[in-house]
A and B are shown apart, each in its own frame.
Chain A
Amino acid sequence: MAAHSRPGHGGPDRGEAVSRDRRPLTETVVQDKTAFMVRREHRLISFLFILGLFGVWELIARLGLVSPLFLPAPSAILVTGYKMILSGEVFHHIGASLWRIFWGFSCAVIIGTFVGVLLGFFSVAESIGNPIIASTYPIPKIAILPLLILWLGIGEYSKITVIGLGVFFPMVINVYTGVRNADPVLIKAAISLGSNPQRIILKVILPSALPMIFAGLKLGIGIALLLVVAAEMIAADAGIGFLILTSADLMQTTKLMFGISLLSMLGLIFSWLIDRLEKLCIPWKK
């Protein structure tokens, strides 16, 4: 510290030695050392980068560096997509997939939420349910599909059920965690204001668990998309998974890639919808 002391400024507490220091006066301005941590949004950069990526891809395809059988140009994929939209073929496949996702997802969300609340609130349900869930959750759901086809037939039920199973687990686990983590002081407050246990579930526990329920929905919709494609690849005559698989069989790579980009778009739309719904349902969240 003494080296930074200015000559001539030595107060009584600085002592004699410092005030006799005759080195020239130096100034060091304090810098903001956290400047590198500031995170800015670089919208232009992310846009330009993606554009550039597609540009390079297009160039590679146009120059014939890679056969279009393996890597068709982005423009060719777009044209194929446009034709499929005009002919209505896309909607046929999207419709079939959405229909399966809708039923599998919504049944699983309702049942999963219900079971999650039961497990979180009642200790008997917890001791019965938790070991069952712990032992069935790790099974990859697609491994059960052949069994489900055996039981429910090759039609829609087996596909809907496998999607439902996939969505059920993240729902149950999230709702259960949400219920268990409900603030005990809020429950006490509700009791002290005259709520009975049923009312507490409805008016305190469920709203407390809403953020976790939405976390479950977000996980679940990703899994639903994954399973619908897998199920459609095993046995189906329509659906995005079917579209991708048959296009590959026929070496229609543009169609195949359009099918894949449909999945990306569906995923984006789903998570946007759930985000909107979350903002609507949880207006108190900061």
Chain B
Amino acid sequence: MRVVIENISKTFEDGTGEHIEALRDINLSNEENEFLVVVGPSGCGKSTLLNIVAGLLPATSGKVVFEGIPDESRPHTAVVFQEFALFPWRTVERNVVYGPEERGLPRKERQEIARYYIDLVGLTGFEKKYPHQLSGGMKQRVSIARALANDPWLLLMDEPFSALDAQTRTIMQGELSQIYEKTQKSVLYITHNIQEAVFLGDRVAVLSRRPGRVERIIPIDLPRPREEHIMLEPKFLSYVDQIWQHIRGQAMEALTEEKP
């Protein structure tokens, strides 16, 4: 299984009828079991790209192709959103089984799936809690479990830890890394955080600012399993620095430019 993003471009029309080019000619591929991170300054259209891959937004031109999918019994993608997007009227367990429910799996199988993924994200004992009773980090774990429970070919993550505080974020990065190593999912991960990109990614695609173009693709040659302490290693830091040098100038531009 391989996901190919071919010549994707996206142009929005803003309220005044002006055209804003968000993405230009994006070419990327997500190999099987690969953790691909897209990193870029604010306004580079990285979330737009994820929404296009998820089928939640039409591209202006180009296409996204899933190659080598044997049958259509499993969904192509599942998304973990920055805003968690948990259904507030469903308990943890009922959130997690939402996808299997929509796929019409029998109750018993759904329960097993829920138990497995709730355990995987370390939320056993919280099955009957409602989202408003959970902390931000726990909410995002539910959201990850919910996406994985639908067993997608490609897991899409849209800045999943941006709404969390720095400490929780560090912990969640470590946990996600473990979950990835355990499940061997293909992941497309969007972030503006360079450390996070290097820590999680097999490859990091750096997007430029508006219009978003793939500036560089940097393979991250760090051993797995990765743990927090690798963030202190010189090799890790040199990757971070390398990417920062690419983004820095554009991030400065983003800072001073007016909102479109």
Q: Which residues of chain A have a CB within 8 Å of any CB of chain B?
A: 183, 185-186, 188-195, 199, 203-204, 207, 210, 282-284, 286
Contacts and interface: CB of A to CB of B under 8 A. Distances in A.
Interface residues of B, number: 25
B56 A194 contact: no
A185 B83 contact: yes
Given A188-B56, A192-B54, A194-B103, A282 B81 contact: no
A192 B130 contact: no
Interface stretch (B15-23, B72-80, B178-186): B72-80
B132 A284 contact: yes
A286 B130 CA distance: 10
B181 to A, nearest CB: 24
B99 A194 contact: yes
B81 A199 contact: no
Given A199-B102, A283-B130, A284-B131, A192 B78 contact: yes
B208 interface: no
A185 to B, nearest CB: 5
Contacts of B75: 193-194
Contacts of B146: 193
Nearest to A206: B89
B85 interface: yes
Interface string B3-26: 000000000000000000000000
4 closest cross-chain pairs (CB), A and B: A189-B85, A194-B102, A193-B99, A192-B79
A167 to B, nearest CB: 25
Given A189-B81, A199-B102, A194 B150 contact: yes
Nearest to B152: A192
Chain A at the B interface: SS class: helix
B219 interface: no
A159 B255 CA distance: 65
Nearest to A185: B85
Contact of A190 (B98, B103, B147): B98
The winner among B85, B86, B156 for most chain A CB atoms within 10 A is B85
Interface in B116-166: 130-132, 146-147, 150, 156
Interface of B: 54-56, 75, 77-79, 81, 83, 85-89, 98-99, 102-103, 130-132, 146-147, 150, 156
Contacts of A203: 87, 98
Contacts of A210: 89
28 contacts: A185-B83, A185-B85, A186-B85, A188-B85, A189-B79, A189-B86, A189-B87, A190-B87, A191-B55, A192-B56, A192-B78, A193-B78, A193-B98, A193-B102, A193-B150, A194-B99, A194-B103, A194-B150, A203-B87, A203-B98, A207-B89, A210-B89, A283-B130, A284-B89, A284-B130, A284-B131, A284-B132, A286-B132
Nearest to B103: A194
The winner among A190, A193, A204, A207 for most chain B CB atoms within 10 A is A193
Contact of B79 (A188, A282, A284): A188
A185 B102 contact: no
Nearest to A194: B102
A282 B89 contact: yes
Nearest to A183: B85
The winner among A190, A192, A194, A282 for most chain B CB atoms within 10 A is A192
Nearest to B102: A194
A191 B83 CA distance: 16
B78 A186 contact: no
B157 to A, nearest CB: 12
A203 B94 CA distance: 12
Contacts of A193: 75, 78, 98-99, 102, 146-147, 150
B102 to A, nearest CB: 4
